[in-house]
Amino acid sequence: MRMLELVADSEPSGMRFIDLATELDLAKSSALGFLRGLTFCGYLEMRDGKYHLGPAMTLFSRAKNRFPLEYVRALQELSEAWRETAVLAAVKGDFFVHVSVVEPKEVVRVSLPLDRRNPMWPASYGKVFVAFMSSARRNSYLRRRHQAASECRRILDEAEVIRERRVAINCGESLADVYGIASPVLSASGDAALAVGLTGPAFRMRERLSEMADSVQNVARRLSEPGALSTARMR
């Protein structure tokens, strides 16, 4: 915990490895082991040769499954507007978890479990996290989870498009009859701390993907701006 506190206190400039080891009075090998574990789980990340807080730290800033009212309202509005399941997701190591879910009243709907680890790719939420990882972390993730060169190339190509458009779409890649749309909730440093999106049956989402993607992006952008949701309403 002290290691995380030191990095938090060093933000936004970050902290060098040697300074962390010295401050904690740890042997370099011991410090490196701790840092690798925290980085793997997403609690820290390396940028420009320094350690910074990672996207998984978002989960520590709130009680379990409890988020600011503006997040809850955004999910409710998104679900009501499109009659699909609205989701807030977060990184957990090489996986992602659904941390808040609002389901529609439709008889046919997608129900998603909370806090269960899900593979990043090809889920729409996971695609967002992979796309907005630092290059070093993304390459490390690919080495661990996607060894085939052709598959890595496809993932990198799609990740580039996702970064440009700020939206990821899964058209039945995980489950044949389920579609998903997600967009990043960016921190001040540009990291995808969270992802917001919609998940639903293909027969309802197929013809509305473009409009739904725009709506999800708008909500994600607002959630990326502190205080914006207190006065804005979903269009």
The per-residue pLDDT for 14 is: 87
The reply to whether 47 and 70 lie within a common domain is no
CB 104 within 8 A of CB 84: yes
Tens-of-pLDDT digits for all 235 residues of the chain?
A: 778 888 888 888 889 999 999 888 899 998 898 898 888 777 888 888 899 887 777 655 544 445 678 888 999 999 999 999 999 999 888 899 999 999 999 999 999 999 898 999 999 999 999 999 888 889 989 998 998 999 999 999 999 999 999 999 999 999 999 999 999 998 776 778 799 999 999 999 999 999 999 999 999 999 988 644 333 333 3
* pTM for the whole structure: 0.74
Q: Which residue has the tokens 């661990």?
A: 144
- Domain harbouring 103, CATH code: 3.30.450.40
- d(CA 110, CA 113) in angstroms, rounded, equals 10
The per-residue pLDDT for 231 is: 35
Longest dimension (CA), the chain: 59
What is the Cβ-side half-sphere exposure of residue 138, based on CA atoms within 13 angstroms?
22
The reply to whether 12 and 80 lie within a common domain is no
The per-residue pLDDT for 59 is: 59
Q: How far is CA 160 from CA 42, 115, 131, 208, in A?
A: 21, 28, 7, 24
The per-residue pLDDT for 61 is: 52
- Domain harbouring 30, CATH code: 1.10.10.10
- CA dihedral 27→33→38→42, nearest 10 degrees, is 130
CB 43 within 8 A of CB 51: no
- The DSSP bridge partners found for residue 205 are none
The reply to whether 137 and 180 lie within a common domain is yes
The per-residue pLDDT for 235 is: 34
The reply to whether 81 and 179 lie within a common domain is yes
The reply to whether 23 and 67 lie within a common domain is no
The total number of structural domains that make up the chain: 2
The per-residue pLDDT for 211 is: 97
The per-residue pLDDT for 58 is: 62
Q: Which domain holds residue 74?
A: 60-230
Residue 235 in any domain: the answer is: no
Query: Is beta strand 50-53 parallel, antiparallel or unpaired with respect to 85-92?
Result: unpaired
